[in-house]
Amino acid sequence: MIDKVFNKSITKQFEFDEEVASVFDDMLNRSVPFYKEMQRLSIDFACNFLSENDKVYDLGCSTASTLIELSKHCSHNLKLIGIDNSSAMLSRAAKKAKAFGVEIDLINADLHDVNYENAKLILSNYTLQFIRPLQREKLVKKIYDSLEDKGIFIFSEKVISSNSTLNKQSIDEYYEFKKTQGYSEFEISQKREALENVLIPYTEEENKKMILDAGFSHCETIFKWVNFATFIAIKK
Ligand SMILES: C[S@@+](CC[C@H](N)C(=O)[O-])C[C@H]1O[C@@H](n2cnc3c(N)ncnc32)[C@H](O)[C@@H]1O
Ligand SMILES: O=C(O)C(=O)C[C@]1(C(=O)O)C=C[C@@H](O)C=C1
């Protein structure tokens, strides 16, 4: 289904509710520049580090697209766990996983309330940005503590620039991108308003600092388009 969620005046803040979930795959493909390429790269990097029966968590798995793609591309048998607190997203995730014949343990819970035991890989694309800053640092520490030695954390985030001129230009470039994807100026402005104080982006540097402060030995940007970045963090 085509995303028309913000074609009308907003009445509330952005939520991952039934309406958003019903068009989410289209929303993501048209709202995140190079989403498919970012997903392909995350999976390629992840597969290099994985072995038979490794445990993989996707935090904020939404409709489970990434875990389904990972299982298709990785030659090993993996234990896949998807966590999300939106029932609307998880019911779609369950249907998709069944249709693709992929076994995924889907957990409906807040990310703070789950123990990510013996994880080899934790993925989290475009989800940390929705966690309040103080909670975000705590969650990243928990991710670090849950990973096995040499475990990896791959995550993507919308980012801002600490240079105000470049930041403004990045936002303008992004809105131009959205127009090329068929979103009107009205839809763009309504969604921007709905996301205010809900999606809280960090700079690329702040993201890396948060990762290193949590204990990771290395953090690298593996993909970036203007204000969207994908990182890989390694636990030694
Ligand atoms: C932008 S979407 C993630 C997209 C997904 N990773 C993908 O690439 O297809 C963010 C997801 O995080 C979930 N989420 C946000 N905050 C959460 C929390 N505190 N606990 C659990 N899930 C959360 C939302 O319900 C939503 O499905
Ligand atoms: O549309 C925007 O402004 C976005 O920031 C895109 C974005 C994201 O980065 O998570 C925002 C909300 C939806 O979850 C899908 C994509």
**Are 2 and 67 spatial neighbours (Cβ–Cβ below 8 Å)?**
no
pLDDT in tens, 25-69: 999 999 999 999 999 999 999 999 999 999 999 999 999 999 999
Query: What is the extent of the structural domain holding 131?
Result: 18-160+199-234
Domain assignment of residue 171, yes or no: no
Rounded distance, CA 170 to CA 12, Å?
26
Nearest to 29 by CA among 4, 50, 3: 3
Q: How confident is the model at residue 100 (pLDDT cuts 50, 70, 90)?
A: very high
Dist. CA 235 → ligand 1 center (Å): 23
Domain assignment of residue 193, yes or no: no
Whole-model pTM? 0.97
Dist. CA 85 → ligand 1 center (Å): 7
Whether the complex's predicted ipTM is more than 0.85 is answered with yes
Nearest to 59 by CA among 75, 40, 81, 76: 81
Domain assignment of residue 210, yes or no: yes
Structure-block tokens of residue 36: 């498919």
pLDDT in tens, 187-204: 999 999 999 999 999 999
DSSP, residue by residue, 209-223: HHHHHTT-SEEEEEE
Torsion of CA 13, 16, 233, 52, to 10 degrees: 180
Is 58 one of the annotated binding-site residues?
Answer: no
> Which residue, chain included where needed, has tokens 């993201």?
207
Residue nearest atom 11 of ligand 2, based on CA coordinates: 31
Q: What is the CATH number of the domain that holds 141?
A: 3.40.50.150
Domain assignment of residue 11, yes or no: no
Separation in Å, CA 210 to CA 16, 166, 195, 215: 26, 22, 23, 9
pLDDT in tens, 145-173: 999 999 999 999 999 999 999 999 999 99
pLDDT in tens, 177-188: 999 999 999 999
Nearest to 38 by CA among 167, 158, 203: 158
Rounded distance, CA 203 to CA 208, Å?
9
pLDDT in tens, 210-235: 999 999 999 999 999 999 999 999 99
Amino acid at 198: V
Is 182 one of the annotated binding-site residues?
Answer: no
Domain assignment of residue 180, yes or no: no
Is 26 one of the annotated binding-site residues?
Answer: no
Q: What is the mean pLDDT of residues 138-144?
A: 98
Amino acid at 56: V
Query: Between helices 35-49 and 65-73, what is the axis angle to 10°?
Result: 50
Domain assignment of residue 99, yes or no: yes
Please give the mean pLDDT across all residues of the chain: 97
Question: Number of structural domains, the chain?
Answer: 1
Domain assignment of residue 5, yes or no: no
Beta-strand relationship, 55-59 and 119-125: parallel
Q: Who lines ligand 2 at CB under 6 A? A: 27-28, 31-32, 126, 158, 191, 195, 199
233 burial type by CB count under 10 A (0-12 exposed, 13-18 middle, 19+ buried)? buried
Domain assignment of residue 134, yes or no: yes
